[in-house]
Every structure is written in C-alpha cells, then in structure tokens.
Amino acid sequence: MDKTLRKGLQLLETLAASNGPRGAAELGRELDLTRSNVSRLLGTLAELGFVRRADEAGRYAATLKAWEIGMRIMSRDPLRRTAQPFLRALHAETGLNVFLAVLDGDDVLYLDKVEANTISHVSAQPGMRLPAFLISSGRAMLAWHKPEMVGARVASHPRTAGLDRDDLSADLTLTRERGWAMTVDGSREGVISLAVPVFLADLPVAAVAMSGPKAELDQKRREALLPALLNAAARISEALAHIG
C-alpha cells in the first residue's frame, strides 16, 4: 500500500475514533509520525472534505464525509436490505435491542440495529466492532468455523486476556449443537445476549442477535424469546437464498 495513503487513512480513522478535536503534535505522537507530516496530511484531508479545522488552536475533527460514503455503500448492501424487515418484526415481537452483525477479520462488525423503546442498558451501535469470541453474535458464526481457524483468530487478537480457550471451545460446540449462542457479561457487565447465525449456501454469513439486562432475561424469558429469534434468522437465510 502506498505509504502516504496508508498514513492518511490511519489519521482519518484516529480522528473518527476521537471524542474531540485533535492537534497535529498529539496525533503525531499517537501515530508515530512527525508533526509536519501530520500537518500536510490534515491539509490534504481538509481539502478533500474529510476533516475540518475545529478551533483557533489548529486542532482538527473528522467531518461526516466518510459517513456519507459508508451510507451509500450500506444502502446498496443486499444483506442489510434483506434483513431489515425481519429485524423490525423481531423487535416488535420481543421489545429488545435487535442487531445484525457480520464477521470482519477477527471482529464482529455491526451492520444494523433496532433500538429498544426503553433503553435500560448501553449497547452496540451500527459501525461498532467487537472481538468475535467475546459476544454471542460472533460465537454464533465462529461455531461453524474449523477449530484451527477459530484458534488463529483468538491467537491474533489483542483482547484475549483472561479468556479460557477450553471454555470457548466447549461453548462453540454447544452453540453448533443447539443452533444459537448466548453470552453473559460478554462485552458489558450485566447484559445477556442471544444470537443465531444467518446462512447462505450452508455457511454463516451474518448473525441476528438480541440483548437485554440479566434481570429482564431469566431462563424462562429466554426460552420464550428464542423461537422468535430462530425464526427471524431462518427467514433472512431463506430470503438471501432467493436473491443470491
């Protein structure tokens, strides 16, 4: 990859992930670039409309241009378009946060979400990524991968501290046997998440998930919700087969 292009994209990603405007010196230290190099890159990105100067101190912030490009791509994505009515129906039936996610490298990337009417816990948003082994949607897809492939994904991920790989292997086996995954305190304390894979040609291409506080999702409630979740994933799989 062209070095300048790579540096520019890394700079844009860093700004997009920042909670506020950033200066060239600060960004240079984080990215191991010289201040002059960062300043030149910021100038080019500003000319192209991807960043803007945010204050008199010379700090910069990302604009919505990258979001515009992403939304154009997402509006044409057949998986998201196919799944949307089924996600809305699942949310209407369960009242929970409902998600559509895919595997992207070693992570899960959230493509869509229908928000619960009463937000009782903080949850993932479209565009967010989390370690696949940590959450139910990731495990719902990893369960159909070969163990050596799962092992390679886990080994290469920076967030494996404290992970019991034997427990993970046993959980993936159970997930494949029963057809759905569950995590407790996966990415957030106090949250239970359930997920079912979406298949295309017998391969998991996505997962439908729903989540809620542990206090609201006891075993009886989970057993009552699972048929709706399984049905939503099955219907999305059927719809994808007809357009694929």
3-state secondary structure of 160: coil
Integer CA distances (angstroms), 125 to 112, 192, 201, 230, in order: 8, 16, 28, 22
3-state secondary structure of 211: strand
In the chain, where the domains are located: 3-68, 77-243
Q: Are strands 129-131 and 107-114 parallel, antiparallel or unpaired?
A: antiparallel
Question: Cα dihedral angle (222, 226, 229, 234), rounded to 10 degrees?
Answer: 160
Task: Summarize pLDDT for 62-96 with one digit per residue, the tens.
Answer: 999 998 888 888 778 889 999 999 999 999 999 99
pLDDT at 118 over 90: no
Model confidence, pTM: 0.79
Q: What is the CATH number of domain 3-68?
A: 1.10.10.10
Within 10 angstroms of residue 40's Cβ, the number of other Cβ atoms is: 16
Using alpha carbons, select from 30, 3, 17, 115 the residue that is nearest to residue 66: 17
Q: Which CATH class is domain 77-243?
A: alpha beta
